[in-house]
Structure 1
Amino acid sequence: MSVKPVAVLIHVHSLAEAREWYKKAFPMATEIHLEKQDFVSLDIDGFTIELVHADQKVSSGKAGSVLYWAVAHLDKAISHFVALGSTVYRGPMAIENGLGMCQVTDPFGNLIGLRGPYENGDSAP
């Protein structure tokens, strides 16, 4: 059996606000228009960010799983998200092989993980 990630659902309170914010956060994404669908879909090289309404079954917020995005420069990626209104939630911290990781927020309370080369990464175990 072969598996690979193809999409992440991100639960938000406003699809219109989320669409605009995520298009700025991931400017390389292409919006996919689906008629009569109650979600917004953004494609990044075959991987889809699907923005859906939060509801009683699944709310938005910090609740467990965090998807990490590979970035070319961790500090620059953090600055990009902070400029869009994100706050740094956890990190940045050095991990291994000159890499670092960090979690930032979106305006809907969700977390976005970032992982990439980190200037302070040389001190990682």
Structure 2
Amino acid sequence: MPACPAAAPSPISAVLVHVSDVNAALAWYQRAFPHAVRRYLKAFDFYLLDINGVHLELVPSDAKVTAGAAGSVVYWRAVDFDQSVAHFLALGGRLYRGPLEIQDGLRMCQILDPWGNCIGLRG
């Protein structure tokens, strides 16, 4: 695997989250990540959320990739872990795993979005 360019802010460029209602998911994730910048890609008639250079793309679930907790989980860094967990729960997220104590005094958990997808928090 080639190394990432030195100027790249993150080795992750995009995270796709499969949902049954893209517009509702876009609104929910905009509240979940209030610092995200909503961007419109005219060529694809598509909105995404830009979170510090990582594109969060809410896409329709289908027969090949359904919504739900069934695979990889992206963990977002939480500066204030307890506050972040409370924020997601207040939006209707549900605790799925944890919180658990992990290395170096950090904690982690997984929260389900309204479509059953896991959001990982670590801090």
Whether these two folds match at TM > 0.5 is yes
- The structure-2 alpha-carbon separation of the partners of 1:38 and 1:54, relative to structure 1 and needing over 3 Å to count, comes to farther
- Asked if 1:108 corresponds to 2:109, the answer is no
Equivalent residues in 2 for 1:26-41 (5 A)?
26-35=33-42, 37=44, 39-41=46-48
Aligned partners of 1:32 and 1:22: how far apart in 2?
13
2:29 to 17, 22, 26: 22
Code of the aligned partner of 2:57: E
Aligned partners of 1:71 and 1:63: how far apart in 2?
23
Alignment TM-score, normalising by the size of structure 2:
0.90
> Identity over the aligned pairs, expressed in percent?
49
Structure 1 residues without counterparts, runs of 5 or longer: 117-125
Aligned partner of residue 104 in structure 2, secondary structure: coil
Code of the aligned partner of 1:2: A
1:98 to 105, 108, 116: 105
Aligned partner of residue 103 in structure 2, secondary structure: coil
- What number of residue pairs does the alignment pair up? 116
Code of the aligned partner of 1:95: I
Aligned partners of 2:46 and 2:96: how far apart in 1?
26
Structure 2 residues without counterparts, runs of 5 or longer: 5-10
